[in-house]
Structure 1
């Protein structure tokens, strides 16, 4: 039968268990009481409880466990009806029920175990008490023997002195021989019981050492520290040697447990003190033993200095202000002097004087030492390049090679190319048609949900029903039947109102002319701050006005800059802009414009056109000479310039600092003409 009790029931059962253990063992033993209550609290059955308590009680364990579980059953039954203190009678009145007595122990159920005649000790018997009891018993026996040996054998012996606690008073009238035998038997019985008690106590201590789990932590009210104090009767004596150290019984030094502080402030203070001692010790060791220790290096304090106010000296900021004012005044004077020198022409003379060499030199003159070697060589010639004579501290001559050379290497600072952007370029995210539809649907759903919530809260009025001629009868119902003309007019007015609102919303969203122009310009304009893309085209014949207009109009529309030089058989077109603009203009020049299509009139065919001119127009074409990037723009708005000679054409490009464009285009035209 497995029963488990609550904490309250176990506390109620504890006195009964203590009393029963005292009757079984002859003395009170709290370890047995705790073990028995622990078995009950864990819900063990009687068999397992007998196995756990048998080392303590021996043969009395089954009888004790049976009584224990019968008491547990009574406590369990009483705990169920603890709250029901009133009982309803047959007449409907409440009658108070008498409480049951607390666990009576019948006399016939008490264990039949011999008990000592002496008064039971209030606590556990120690070995010293048992020895004293046995010594007193021996002394009483010896005294009794001496009394018996001194008595005459003929007469009746005098009554013996009653030994307290050993010989009962009803045996005083027994004859001497019988009395002696009886006292001897009682003494032997007392000695046996004392030995048995000592054996039981030793067995209990051994069992507790082997089975510490029997006194588990699940037992309510169990104090482990108190149990340990019960097992050890006396504290360990403190033994000190001549030096004041704590030693054990063998004379070996012991390290006592030191009390550690619990407050954070005390812990930090103790750590600081220990660190200070260790640092001082390390400094002493370094200064004494280390041969590499530098005595000039001092050990600073381990603690950080407290922060204090740092006051400025009086007049410090006044001096700084005076220096700033003097510097500004000096810059103003320098600017005035520079302007005056510029007006009088002194500045140009000083610049010429600076760049004029000190002595006249010709290209054929060979210097004794090159300028790049002058810094390294010790002298002014290459004769003593491999040695340098210097004097040391003692005055002796020493030779050094290349004294100005060091082991250091100069690494030039890395500069980012101007075309690389400072920030990483973020690519735009383009949605598919399906994703755009889904996003539009979600946005509309959210807007409709918000409008519904506002209408539900009463913040906005609900919209009128959307009535059309198609759903007129379904929406209005009886009203449409009663007065159809009035209802139709009302529906048409609603339709006109919705149409007007729609048109007004479209007109409000419509961009103005300036906004449309700005939008187109923003779409076309590109950022050329990091680099300008340049393309150079060469056209054999650019005399057609329509083709001139196309080139100029596309340059202006694409917000490009450039220059067009018109020369015989070499017409150079230079355009500057962004990569997107260059792609569009390249497609115009190489694909869209048909350079060989010419509309000629009949008069021109009959009179003016010659065979050479027809062949030239038929072979007219455009080719890309060069494309690349430059740092800055060289031209402004696109302009056309007709040049009669090659020198004038090259001069136009030289004025803008890009004459190499003309050289490249003209050289290709000459090579092409020679190949033809």
Structure 2
């Protein structure tokens, strides 16, 4: 299929346009808008305008007649229209290029009034650049101080305007200035070295939050005057001070202060009571209220007592003496048995004695044991604490073990003697473990042997407490350090674990007096 040529296409377009304009003229539709909106090609512009001129005038006349008919229907006279048209006709006006059909001649470009010589051409004005009249604030001299500065938009240091550098003045250092700085730096380095040594010890206890200040390095200095010497000195120093040993201001007087006498404690009340009963009995016998007691005849003295009497049958007399001795022995044993307390009474007496000791004040003690895996050691630690009615906990861990006990002062003193003297912690002989119900339980034969030669026990803390933190004495076995801390944290005693880890038996500051 062959494509039409360009000339045939233009003729076809012009023919169709003429048909459209003719139809619009018959329908009474103005064609000014259509001609303005549809721009014909440059080649067919002249042919289209010449062919459409008669139809254009016909459409204008039809439109004018239609407008006059409407105005008559609305009551507007034709005279007013003619008057307005006559007035407008007096003013010379040109027809719009779109209505006249001369579209090609006018493009809105002014034509030059003179010859277009290069020298006579009008110079085009240059566009003016807007400038800020006021000066920038002094605070904006540094771009980084500008509140609208954004470093992400290429405001690097290299792109910033360079500030003018002023010449520096020469300053002479004071003599000895750098020597003082060097001494200060060396002193700070020495202090940091001491802090590093303390930090190494704290690292074993994992005390990252410990504050290392100068008080932990240097011991406090002694006071200028001791408190017991202050009343005797006239000034606050020992040097150049006079002693106030006599006079009204002296604390020394001629009066002797005697303490209030107190009755001594009667430790043996039972013996004193018996002596008083015997004294009353003898007094009643002397007065005659009671008959005298028969003589106390024994095998050693019956011949001397009965010497004045005739003894026809000495064998019978010896039998009677033996019978009296046996009766006295039986009566003595019965009296002792009657005075003896029962098991319940002994238990109540023991409880009352411990309660009276606890009323004097509660004492707590913390022990650090390197290894507490031995069955016999664990039995002694647990059973003795329960017998003394002490509360606390024994946390057994592979790294170390911590034993915390709470009780009366007497109970803690006896427990310290057990932990620090009586138990041989280096003993590694296999023994039988006795459970709480007094039943021996053998150690696990499959477990690996443990070397107890370097095992030891230390008292790391002891002091008075207001109330008990534990309700009973328990023994807990933990495999990790965090598990041991969790058990102690339930009673608020996790700080004792940190104290046990930080404890150094070779340090005289942390070593307690075990005899207290």
> Would you say same fold, with TM above 0.5?
no
Q: Which has the higher helix share?
A: 1
Q: TM-score range by the shorter chain?
A: 0.3 to 0.5
Structure with the greater relative contact order (CA < 8 A, sep ≥ 6): 1 or 2? 2
- For normalisation by structure 2, the TM-score amounts to 0.39
